[in-house]
Amino acid sequence: MNDFPKGGILLMALLLSAGCVTRHLEPADPDILALSEAGAAAYAAGLPSKAAVLYSQALERGRLLDVPREVARNAYNLGLCRMAAGEWMEARRWLDQARVLLEPDGEELGRVLVACAETATRMGDICEAVTLAERVPLVCKETAVRCQALVLLAEIHAGEAKWDAVRERYVAARRMCKGTEIPPGLSARQEGLAARLIGAGVLKGDRAACLLRKAELLRKAGSYREMAESLGEAGDAFSASGRKADAFTCYERSAHSLDAGGQRVAADVMVGRMRSLAGDLKDSTYIERLALAERILAADKTKGGTP
């Protein structure tokens, strides 16, 4: 069992792994190394609260030994833990500390900047997020980090309905990542952008297919709630284009995943959409599949769940 909230696992996947900044560099002290590696293991296991305790100890050890680079690295790690827990103000406090210690440049700074930009976006500070994300390519050569900055900028522009700017950033991110392995959560965000561009009429393609690819990538990233939501969106896209059988299947998959994850209310919504399509489909198996989903959800409601 992990203690990530909704979206936390996806952030973990996107921001690579906490401790990665320390892991590839020789630390100044074996105790810092041991604490950082233990923190990384806890973070990878989905336990950011436990990881935060270990990273805090590593940071204090760095302060004791007067090693600013180690303080910066573990402040970054603490920031990622707070991001994964959805504690945005606390995350920003640690990330800003890391940024100040790593300025003015350096490969490590790029990761800190993109994490700061992600945090600023979730705090509603869009101008700051744009400023931070636009700095990333100037200080970082790592493809996945540069790509994440572009994707974030595209998502910000999409929120403002600046579709030409979205397309420009999206195309640039695709080109940058071509032939390079990037985290599945980041690829999922690219598919999400493609779906939004198609929906806005800026890009040609099959919106439902993009959303199905997004769902599969989210599954690989371990972000199952978002995967189920993407399946529901794919169902909506299939339904809007008259592909009712495909829509039914997407709603069905979403309903079962949401129900298994304890999201009973959201699962009920998906079953309702299945119900609205079942009568129009000329195959009795759809009625049977609907009845099965209804029975499973009815039985699971006695166990409780979250909205």
Task: Please say if the pLDDT value at position 267 is more than 90.
Answer: yes
Q: Are 15 and 115 in contact (CB under 8 A)?
A: yes
For 126-169, how does the pLDDT look when each residue is reduced to its tens digit (9 = 90+)? 999 999 999 999 998 889 999 999 999 999 999 999 999 999 99
Q: Which residue has the tokens 């599954």?
A: 219
pTM: 0.87
Give 15's pLDDT tier (boundaries 50, 70, 90). Answer: low
Assigned token pair, 153? 């900028």
For 55-68, how does the pLDDT look when each residue is reduced to its tens digit (9 = 90+)? 999 999 999 999 99
Q: What's the CA gap between 211 and 254, in Å, rounded?
A: 12
Q: Are 4 and 36 in contact (CB under 8 A)?
A: no
For 30-41, how does the pLDDT look when each residue is reduced to its tens digit (9 = 90+)? 999 999 999 999
Q: What's the CA gap between 257 and 69, in Å, rounded?
A: 43
What pLDDT, on the 0 to 100 scale, is given for residue 77?
Answer: 93
Q: What's the CA gap between 41 and 10, in Å, rounded?
A: 17
